[in-house]
Amino acid sequence: MDIFSLAVTEKQVLTAGGSSDIKVHSTADADFPLVQSIDNAHNVGCHHIVTDGRGSRAITSGFDGKIKVWVCQDGYWAAEQKLTADLEAAKAWAIALSEDGQYLAGVNQEGRIKVWDLAADATQIRDHETKGSYGTCIDLSADGRFIATGHADGSVYIFTTETGRMPFSLAGLVKNVRTVAFSPAGKILAAAGDTRVIVLYDTASGEQIASFTGHTAWIMSLSWSSTGEYLLSSGFDGKIKVWSMQTKTCVATLSETDKAVWSAKWLPKIGKTEAFATAGENCSIAFYREATG
């Protein structure tokens, strides 16, 4: 079955998709062995999985509309029943988890953006309304200051978490936005989707600062390397691209599959080696190492 979403922790990659289970691979070993399979996590399948920075908590969003919470102890994941029950009424399509794992942000099909405090019985603490277009993607900046969402009508929003306000309105894309991602320092927001162009926004001004063209199919996923030097993108046609922020050019294109790559994520940097994982319609995870030293 398809893998719709990847989540990366210090030593693991978690996958969620069309089958009912969540799979956990170890990235500490060279051959990325499967170390755990959480069976029947979401019987109808799961489209989003996110983790906190320490890799101690994961949240999944299933096709049945259910949100579930998972905790990791000594590398082994288990269901967090209490928080899962607390989030019973939480409706969200795309989700994002803050670096410290305390705040869960989600955007739903009516375009509403909500934030739940997982340290306070998953109390809903924010409810932002947008123009009502389907919320397809969401990201939280690493410092927790911003939430960004992308929508089916092409809009992109940035909210300041502290005030719950939009500091400025962004010139969105003209078609469905499929992915948004903050740079590690939170200074840049990247957004992409059906226009096949990656647009970079300055999060201080809301101005568009650059755009990357080169994909010839819908862009499904974006991920920043830990240093912010590289941006990874994956397309509906299976193409994966690596963009250099320094030169603002595409420095690598991988086309090993013609099946859609739904999710692409950098792994934590080990030494001078950057590596990333990709997954999608062809149902398996691929790991790539980029020699960038």
Partner 1 sequence: MASHPAQPLELNGTNASVRAYIENTLATLVHGLTLPPAEAHLSLILKRRANSASCMINAVTGALEACPRVESTRTYSWPGKTVYEEWKFTVILKVLAILDQAIRTGQLISKRDIYYIDPEFFRAQYVIDGIIDDLAYTIGVDRGALNVDTLIPRIEDGDQIEISQIRWVLVIEKEGKGYPDLSTRLFLRKLFDLALNRNRPLRFYALTDGDPHGMAIMSTYKYGSAAHLHENARLSIPQLQWLGLRVSDIIAVPEVLGDKALLSLTERDRRKIISMLRNSPVWACNGPEKQWRAELQRMLFLNAKAEIEILYECSGGLEGWIERRMFRQE
What residue ranges bind partner 1 (CB under 8 A)?
1-2, 4, 18-20, 43-45, 47, 63-65, 109, 134, 136, 152, 175-176, 194, 217-218, 236-237, 260, 262, 281
**β-sheet bridge partners, residue 201:** 189, 208
Closest distance to partner 1 from the beta carbon of 176 (Å): 8
Q: Which is nearer to partner 1, 83 or 92 (CB)?
A: 92
Closest distance to partner 1 from the beta carbon of 221 (Å): 12
Q: Which residues does 154 contact at the CB level (< 8 Å), separation at least 6?
A: 172, 173, 174, 175, 176, 177, 193, 195
Q: Which is nearer to partner 1, 63 or 168 (CB)?
A: 63
Closest distance to partner 1 from the beta carbon of 20 (Å): 5
Q: How far apart are CA 61 and CA 290, in angstroms?
A: 31
Going by C-alpha positions, the residue among 218, 250, 257, 217 that lies closest to residue 231 is 250
Three-state DSSP at 85 gives: helix
- Rounding to the nearest 10 degrees, give the CA dihedral for residues 145, 278, 49, 227: -20
Q: How far apart are CA 201 and CA 96, in angstroms?
A: 19
Closest distance to partner 1 from the beta carbon of 194 (Å): 6
Q: Which is nearer to partner 1, 110 or 290 (CB)?
A: 110
Q: Which is nearer to partner 1, 153 or 229 (CB)?
A: 153
Helices marked H in the chain: 81-86
Q: Which is nearer to partner 1, 203 or 278 (CB)?
A: 278
Closest distance to partner 1 from the beta carbon of 5 (Å): 9
Q: Which is nearer to partner 1, 201 or 236 (CB)?
A: 236
- Rounding to the nearest 10 degrees, give the CA dihedral for residues 255, 10, 62, 264: -10
Please give the distance of CA 56 from its chain centroid, rounded to a whole number. Answer: 17
Q: Which residues does 270 contact at the CB level (< 8 Å), separation at least 6?
A: none
Closest distance to partner 1 from the beta carbon of 64 (Å): 6
